[in-house]
Amino acid sequence: MKRLFPILSVLTAVLLAYALYEALLVAPTDAQQGDVYRIIYYHVPSAWTAFLLFFINFIASIQYLASAKPSTKTAAKWIVIAIGVVGVIACFLPQVQHLLPKGMRPSAVATTVLAIPAFYFLIGKFFPGERLDMLALTSAEVGVVFCTIVLVTGPIWARPVWGIWWAPGDIRLTSTLVLWLIYVSYLVLRRFSNSAQTQMLAAALAVFGALDVPLVYFSIWFFRTQHPQPVIGGGGSMDPRMLQVLLISWMAFLCFAFLVCWSRFRLEVLRREIEEAHAMESLVGTGEAPSKASLPLSRSSR
Amino acid sequence: MNAMKFLLAAYIATWVIHGVYLGTLVRRFSRLRQQVKELKGSGFRRSAPGFPPQV
């Protein structure tokens, strides 16, 4: 594992450099916007990566909440299976297809619905117990970084194209800002709350916060907005060469996000081990038997 | 030319944000390594098998 990280880091750096080369030199210039449109090669992959990380945070938080009792865990498992099966079948029913926004492919919706049980069981398998909470924290923190990039690069693109930095009241922009604020609140809660219930409260906040992700994504279909229409999964008309560069760029950012999450996860594991050691050290000194509930939540190194 | 200025600004801003975040991770890692050293020095190893954690 120790050797894998540097190898993956080098490969990711090469992929990021290649994506940059493709974005700046290979992708064709947009006829209307000129070269400034190339900002989408950083803006859109960052948004997709942030959504994916918030989705992982959502699933890990549900798993963490459900794991409090064996009965809740079983109930949650069957609810998730039901969501997957019913959701996929419903996407192909003509009555439901009627309700989908114009241009949205039922197969794209079905794939997204299917991702819920798939991620649920994969995350449950590879991140048991407290590791679920660590994964939730990791994905939220890295997701906020990517969401910050979306909120910074968006206005930089909007200024030359729209003539304004920000369109006040625009649902896509506002809901993205709200999403960012929700996850910043989540991180603030985790950083400053010293209660034994912090992890549970944060998980509950994350579940509600994740409800904003579909609102952000679907806002351009359901509301009038200045934001451009989606480039894939919604009948967009993007040049195939531009789309190819966009996907390469997203792959590069996904690899980068994976490495950052890996580092952040390791950091969290180490932090908790040290916290436990400090607690045990102080309890051994007082002659008490250490218990999990007696472990303090030191904030010095968070 | 003006458009290139915005493009450059967006790309630089992206890597500055990532750089700042990676910097905080490195700082937090080094602080934890320091704590591991202190715990090793305090002789905690004797009372807690399996400690210190692997950094």
Q: What is the pLDDT of residue A293?
A: 47
* Shortest CA gap B26–chain A (Å): 9
Count Cβ atoms below 10 Å from residue B13 Cβ, excluding itself: 17
- Tell me the two tokens of residue A205: 């906040």
Measure the CA–CA gap between A142 and A50, rounded to whole angstroms. 8
Note the pLDDT of residue A297: 44
* Average pLDDT in chain A: 87
Say which amino acid occupies A82: A
A152 interfacial to chain B (CB closer than 8 Å): yes
CA of A15: how far to CAs of A50, A254, A255, B12, in Å? 19, 10, 9, 18
Q: Given B3, B28, B29, which is nearest A160 (Cβ)?
A: B3
Neighbours of A99 (CB within 10 A): 8
| Three-state secondary-structure class, residue A100 | coil
**Structure confidence at residue A300 (pLDDT):** 41
Contact at CB, B10 and A152, closer than 8 angstroms: yes
Percent of chain B scoring above 90 in pLDDT = 55
Q: What is the pTM of this model?
A: 0.87
pLDDT at A8 over 50: yes
Cβ contact A274–B36 (<8 Å)? yes
pLDDT exceeds 60 at position A76: yes
Asked if B7 lies within 8 A of A39 by C-beta distance, the reply is yes
- Backbone angles phi and psi of A194, in degrees to 5: -115, 10
Q: What is the pLDDT of residue A285?
A: 67
Q: Which residues pair with A30 in a beta bridge?
A: A34
| Least confidently predicted of A40-54, A90-104, A271-285, A286-300 | A286-300
Amino acid A232: pLDDT: 63
**pLDDT reading at A6 higher than 50:** yes
Distance CA B44, CA B38 (A): 9
User: Could you report the per-residue pLDDT of B17-35, keeping only the tens digit for each?
Assistant: 999 999 999 999 999 999 9
Among B residues 8-47, those touching chain A with beta carbons less than 8 Å apart: 9-11, 13-14, 17-18, 21-22, 25, 28-29, 31-32, 35-36, 39, 42, 44, 47
Question: What pLDDT digit, counting tens, does each position of A196-216 carry?
Answer: 888 899 999 999 888 888 888
A242 phi and psi angles, rounded to 5 deg:
-65, -40
Cα separations in angstroms, A230 against A40, A183, B23, B38: 12, 24, 34, 53
In chain A, which residue's Cα lies nearest the Cα of B44?
A281
A92-140 tens-digit pLDDT? 888 888 887 777 788 888 888 888 999 999 998 999 888 999 999 999 9
Over the stretch A167-186, which tens digit does the pLDDT of each residue have?
A: 888 888 999 999 999 999 99
Higher pLDDT, A299 or A85: A85
pLDDT of A82: 93
Is there a contact between B33 and A301 (Cβ–Cβ < 8 Å)?
Answer: no
SS3 A229: coil
Q: A283 versus B53: which is more confidently predicted?
A: A283
Chain B residues with beta carbon closer than 8 angstroms to that of A273: 51, 53
**Predicted local confidence at residue A276, as pLDDT:** 87
CA distances from B39 to A156, A188, A264, B28 (A): 48, 28, 22, 17
What average pLDDT does range A17-45 have in this prediction?
A: 91
Task: Output Rg (C-alpha) for chain B, integer angstroms.
Answer: 21
Q: What distance lies between CA A219 and its chain's CA centroid?
A: 18
pLDDT at A155 (0 to 100): 94
Q: What is the predicted pLDDT for the residue at A228?
A: 77
How confident is the model at residue A279, as a pLDDT? 83
Task: State how far the alpha carbon of A93 is from the alpha carbons of A12, A89, A106, A235, in Å.
Answer: 41, 7, 9, 20
CB A24 within 8 A of CB A38: yes
A183 inside 8 A of chain B by CB? no
A268-286 residue pLDDT tens: 999 999 988 888 877 776 6
DSSP string, A155-188: HHHHHHHHSSS--TT-HHHHHHHHHHHHHHHHHH
More confident residue, A95 or B54: A95
Residue with token string 């069957």: A78
A129: left (phi over 0), alpha (psi -120 to 50) or beta: left
Q: Which of A20, A263, A301 sits opposite B31 (nearest CB)?
A: A301
Measured between CB atoms, which of A33, A42, A301 is closest to B35?
A301
Asked whether the beta carbons of A165 and A184 are under 8 A apart, the reply is: no
